[in-house]
Structure 1
Amino acid sequence: MSLQIPDYPFQAYIFDCDGTLVDSMPLHYIAWVEALKRYDAPFVFTEDDFYGSAGMKEQDVVRQLNTRHGSSLDPVGVDELKMEIFAKRIPELQLVGPVAEFARSIHGRFPMAVASGSAEPTVRASLQATGLIDLFPIIITPERVKHGKPAPDMFLLAAELMGVPPGECLVLEDGNSGLEAAKAAGMQAVFIPRSLR
């Protein structure tokens, strides 16, 4: 399956990381399941739950799960353990080929940024492991904004740092929260389906 880019003279491009540039979602899911198990979560965290929360900040996912299941898991603790488990598996990461190829093809011709719901050390390590780190001088993660996806803050900050009006940016994203954030930022977006990986 090929990547379809809208026919519009975009001036800049913003890429999500997990599930968009790197095929990290299966490893993230394994890390989530293991972390929740170690915290004795009283519910099963399904793949549907996982993909439904794509792009959200990890601690917000735990809060949402607590609300849904009437549990009281520690959002910070689960987040830190999940990141620790995932970090050990970063060397196993693979690229999402068509998206990585597109990023390489426009590198040096257009400003580019990464806007990811994961923590910055995780994003940098993922891009480093897959050889993409040098393509992205601008990396936006939830620590840098007041509200993560689905709020538009991360994409608006990326546009500001690239010096490009939001309406001239294209977002590449695999998560619903990211697509909502792009829309709220006044940006066009391309959905990256799982079948592209």
Structure 2
Amino acid sequence: MKGVLFDLDGVITDTAQLHFKAWSAVAKNDLDISLPANFENDLKGISRTDSINRILDFAGKADQFSSAEIETMLDKKNTYYLKEMDKLDNNDIFPGITNLLDQLKQAGILLSIASASKNAPAVLTKIGLIDKFDAIADPSKVAHGKPAPDIFIEAARKINLDPHECIGLEDAAAGVQSIKSANAIAVGIGNSSVLSKADKVVPSTDYLSLSLLENVYNSVK
């Protein structure tokens, strides 16, 4: 194992909830609908374009808006999200993550972010982890979002590694599929039935460690 590729939302900090609050505001204000709480799972790990399309389908309003109108909704969503994100600090880092990053750095493992969020650098800065990472893949530079492999391939490329030399960490089924399609090893964080395609699933970030990741990598390879 030479590299670890991290999703951000739901792996390092709970920005997934902030995204859902922002999407819910767009749905209420622009589409006059309320998103049910469990709809958050439908939006996990996918691009903002795929997210708005799923919301429009849910509202029964697919194909009713021009591309310019949709772009306006996406801009509004980002504005809502940035207001929520501004409240983040290092207390919002998930348990065990800072220790894991320190262990990996001390072992000489390269660290890269593979997030669908274009706000990843700002989030990492807000929570004080920006300097822990060697690279951040830019989701605007890849052709396809998760579950396609593009973002994890790009995250590995940014640290000059092949994906098969890396482990990817994800909390969403779409993200796990993305990791596997990139030919990296997938460790899921959360519900084992939802993340069943992962090579290893742990219930929370508390369980992550250098030794666990090394054991998973060596057992699969």
Tell me the TM-score range normalised by the shorter chain: 0.7 to 0.9
**Are residue 81 (structure 1) and residue 76 (structure 2) matched?**
yes
Unaligned runs of 5+ in 2: 192-202, 206-221
- Between the two proteins, the alignment pairs up a number of residues equal to 185
- Structure-2 residue corresponding to 1:157: 154
State the AA in 2 paired with 1:37: K
CA contact (8 A) 2:136 2:158 kept: no
Unaligned runs of 5+ in 1: 1-9
- Structure-1 residue corresponding to 2:136: 139
**Are residue 189 (structure 1) and residue 163 (structure 2) matched?**
no
Spell out the pairing of 1:13-52 with structure 2 (5 A cutoff).
13-39=4-30, 41-52=31-42
- Looking at structure 1, the residues matched to 123 and 21 of structure 2 have their Cα atoms a distance apart, in angstroms, of 16
Mean Cα displacement is larger for which, 48-57 or 10-19? 48-57
**Are residue 116 (structure 1) and residue 115 (structure 2) matched?**
yes
- Structure-1 residue corresponding to 2:46: 56
Q: Alignment partner for residue 3 of structure 2, among 12, 24, 28?
A: 12
Cα gap change, 1:141 to 1:75, in 2 (>3 Å):
farther
State the AA in 1 paired with 2:170: E
- Looking at structure 2, the residues matched to 53 and 161 of structure 1 have their Cα atoms a distance apart, in angstroms, of 26
Q: Which has the larger radius of gyration?
A: 2
Select the structure with the greater relative contact order (CA < 8 A; seq sep ≥ 6): 1
* TM-fit CA distance, 1:141: 3.2
Mean Cα displacement is larger for which, 144-153 or 62-71? 62-71
Cα gap change, 1:75 to 1:174, in 2 (>3 Å):
farther
CA contact (8 A) 1:98 1:196 kept: no
TM-score if structure 2 supplies the norm length? 0.77
Q: Which runs of 4+ in 1 moved over 4 A?
A: none
* TM-fit CA distance, 1:68: 4.1
State the AA in 2 paired with 1:69: A
State the AA in 1 paired with 2:85: I
State the AA in 1 paired with 2:43: S
